[in-house]
Structure 1
C-alpha cells in the first residue's frame, strides 16, 4: 500500500454524527462564500475552494487511501457524465472536426510532450530537478502524471472570462466548452493506454521477447474490452434514458432523478461487465443531450440546467476534500518539480498542442492564441491523481525503495500544477483577452 499523505490522529468516525453534519454544512457555506470572493478578484471559484480546504486541513479526517480513492473515482464518473451532457454537437457546426482533433489529438500530444519533459527534468523520486538522460524518473510515472493533467476545465475558463465576455466570440466559447467536454474521456483513455503499457501484468519473466509480446497483447485486449464495453453499454443506456424520459419523466422536475439514476446504473453495470464506466457515462450523457424528446420542454438546455447544480456540488466536493486531506508539508519535496511542470504545461505542451493543429483551424491567429492559453485544469486531474497513486507502485521495473516517495510526490506534482495553473492563467486570461481585442461575433 502506497504512502498516503493524510493526517491520521483520531478518525472522522469518532466524531458525533451531529457534529459531522454541522461541519459539512459549514464547509459548503464557506465554499460558497470563498467562491464568490474568488470570482470577484478574478480567479476561478474552484481555486478558492481548494485553498480553503488546504488552509483548514483538519487532522481528524482519517479517511484512508481506499475510501478516498473510491470517493474521487465516483466523483470523476459524475463529472464525465455531465461532460457528455455538455457536448452539444449543434453548437459547433462548421468546426466539429477541428474540435475533435484539438480535444483528442491535443490531449495525446500534450501528454506525450509533458511526460517527456517531466522524465527529462525530474529526479527518480520527483523530489528535485535533475536534467539529463540518466537517473531519471521512470518514464511510465512521468507519462501517468502528464496524462492526469491532460483534461481542461471550460467552466473555470468561462467564469474567469465573464468580466470580458463581450470580447469573447460565441463560437470560441463553444469551442472551449466542446474541447473540455471531449478531452475528459480522451485524458482517461490516454491514462489507460499508458497504464496498459507500463504497469505490471504478472508475467513470470519479463526479459524474454515472448513475454513482452504476451504482455502487449494482453494490454491491448484489456484496453479494447474496456473501450468497446464502455461504448456499447453507454450507447444502450443512452436509449434507455430516452425511453425513461419519454414515458416516465413527465415533468422537468424529475429530470435530476432520472439522470442520476441512469448515470449510477450505467457506470455500475459497465464496470461489472468489464468495460470502462467512465467512457460509458460520457457517451450516455452525449447521446442524452443530442436526442429529441416527446416533451418539447426537455432538451439539451434543460438537461444541463438541471444537472449544473449537482455537477457544481461534485466539483466543490472534490476540491474541498482534496484540500482537507492533503498534508501541506507533504507538498514541499515536490515543489520545484511541480513549478517546473506547471511552466512546461502552460508555456510548452499546451501551446504546441494547439499550434500543431493550426492548419486545420477555422479560427484566427489571435483566437488560437487565446485557446492555447485557455488550458485551465480542474477537478478531473485531481480525481485522476488518486488512480495515479494506486498505479505507480505497479509500474514494471520500479525501484521498491522509492515507491512511497515517488507516489506521494507524483500526486503532489499534480496538485501543485493545478493550483499554479488556475492562479496564473486565471489572473491573466481576462487581460490577454482584452489585449487581443477579439470581435464578439
Structure 2
C-alpha cells in the first residue's frame, strides 16, 4: 500500500504545514494563498522537496475544478442588493476594463520583453483579469469591512471577468496557430463571443432557478446541511461542465448559478455556507500548491527583469487607467476609484490561463507562463498584503461598531431624519440655502451624489458635512451631520 500511503502522507503533510504557516503569516499581513504557493515551490524541483512535476494537463484540470468551486462559493455569498449596487460598474470593468488592461499590458510586452503584437496581446489577455479566489479570500480575511459600493464592485468584477479573459486568451491562441487566416479567425472570434456569454448566462441563470426550486422542496424533509452542501456543489460543477460542453463560459455560468441559488433559496442555503467555505478553501489550497509545484524558479531567471517591467506596468499603469476610465460615468469618489485600482489582485487565474498556450503548443508559451507567475507572485506580495492598510488610508473602510470614536469620526456627531426639509437644517446651522429648500434632506443628498447611496457616502454643505449612516430598501434611512473647519 505504499503507492497510496506515501503520496497521501506527502500531500496531507504539505497541506498541514501550509495551513499552519498561513495562520502565523496572517499576523504579519501575508495571505494564505501566498503561503500555499510558496509551499508548492519549496516542495518542487528547485526546493527542499526536489519533486519534479510537469503535468500541465492535470494542473489545468485541477485549476478549472478549483475555480469552479471558488466561483460557486463566491456567487452564493453575494446577495441581490449588493449585486444590484455593483452590477453596472463591475460589468464594465469585467469587459471593457479587461480589454484596456490587456492592451496596455501588451504594449509593455512589446517594449520590455520583445514580443510580437499578437503574442503580446495573448500575454495581456492572460493577466488582464482580477482573480476571484484572491479577491474573495483576501477581502473576507483582511480584517476590514469596505463600504458596500466598493466591496460589491470588487467581488462582482472578479466573479464576472474570467469569461472575458478566457475568451481573449483562446482568441489570440487561435490567431497564433499555424495556418490561421485572419478573416476566418475573426469571424470565429465574433461567434465565440456570442456563444461564451450567451450560453454562460442562459445555463447559469436557468440552472440556478431550477436548483433553487428543487432545494425548497427537499428542504421540507429532515436533511443535513452537509448533504445539501454536497448537492449544491455537485449541481454547480454539473452546470460548469455542461456550459463548457455547450461552448459557453463555464466561469460566468457557475457564478450566476451560485448567486441565484443562494438568493432564491436563502433559508435552505444559509446553513450550508460553512461547508461550502470549507470546499472553497480546500480548492484554493490544492490549486495553489499544485501551481507552486509546477513552477521551476531556476528557469525563470533570464526573464525576471522584463517580467517585473510588465508587472509594474500592469499594477501602476494598466489597472489604474482601466478603472478610472470605466468608473468615470458612475460617479465614484477619487478615494474609491484609487482603492479599486489597487485591489486588482491576480491569483490562480493567470497561471491557469497560461497553461492554455502550453497545451496548445503556442510559440513562447514557456515565457508567457513565467511572466504570468511573476505577475501573480508580485500581486499577492504587494497588493494582497496591503488590502487593509490601503482601505484605512483611503477611507473606504467602515468603522468597527464597537469603537465609539471610529463611529463618530465616520458618521459624525448629529443624527437626522432624511425626511427633514433641507432648508430647515441650513437655516438652523447658517449653511448655504439650496434652490429647493423644501426638498427632503435624503433626496437632496442623493441628488448631490448622483448615484445610489450606501452607508459612508458623504457630501459637503458649506461648513458642514452630511454622511449616510444607514440605507434601507435602497433609500437613505438615517443621516449624520458634522461641522467642519
TM range (shorter): 0.7 to 0.9
Q: Over aligned residue pairs, what C-alpha RMSD do you find?
A: 2.6
Larger fraction in strand = 2
Distance 1:145 1:79, change over 3 A: farther
Q: Distance in 2 between matches of 1:103 and 1:275?
A: 17
Contact 2:108 2:309 in 1 (8 A): no
Structure scoring higher RCO (CA < 8 A, sep ≥ 6) equals: 1
Q: Distance in 1 between matches of 2:168 and 2:191?
A: 16
Question: Greater CA radius of gyration, 1 or 2?
Answer: 2
Q: Distance in 1 between matches of 2:109 and 2:123?
A: 8
Moved more, 100-109 or 430-439: 430-439
Structure 1 residue 106: deviation in Å?
1.7
Contact 1:53 1:320 in 2 (8 A): yes
Distance 1:175 1:303, change over 3 A: farther
Does 1:37 pair with 2:37? no
Distance 1:140 1:302, change over 3 A: farther
Does 1:412 pair with 2:370? yes
- Which residue is 1:161 aligned to? 142
Q: Distance in 1 between matches of 2:278 and 2:216?
A: 23
What residue ranges of structure 1 are gaps of 5+ in the alignment? 1-13, 124-136, 207-211, 395-402
Moved more, 180-189 or 58-67: 58-67
Q: Secondary structure of 2:142's match? A: helix
What residue ranges of structure 2 are gaps of 5+ in the alignment? 399-455, 457-485
Contact 1:42 1:160 in 2 (8 A): no
Structure 1 residue 202: deviation in Å?
5.3
Aligned length: 389
Q: Distance in 2 between matches of 1:309 and 1:243?
A: 25
Alignment of 1:161-180 (within 5 A): 161-162=142-143, 165=144, 168-180=146-158
Q: Distance in 2 between matches of 1:159 and 1:278?
A: 21
Structure 1 residue 355: deviation in Å?
1.2
Match of 2:177 among 180, 196, 200: 200
Normalized against structure 2, the TM-score is what?
0.73
Alignment of 1:21-420 (within 5 A): 21-57=8-44, 58-62=49-53, 64-123=55-114, 137-149=115-127, 150-152=129-131, 153-159=134-140, 161-162=142-143, 165=144, 168-196=146-174, 198-200=175-177, 206=181, 212-249=182-219, 250=221, 251=223, 252-291=225-264, 293=265, 297-299=267-269, 301-302=270-271, 304-391=273-360, 393-394=361-362, 403=363, 406-420=364-378
Structure 1 residue 33: deviation in Å?
0.9
Q: Distance in 2 between matches of 1:270 and 1:290?
A: 21
Distance 1:187 1:87, change over 3 A: farther
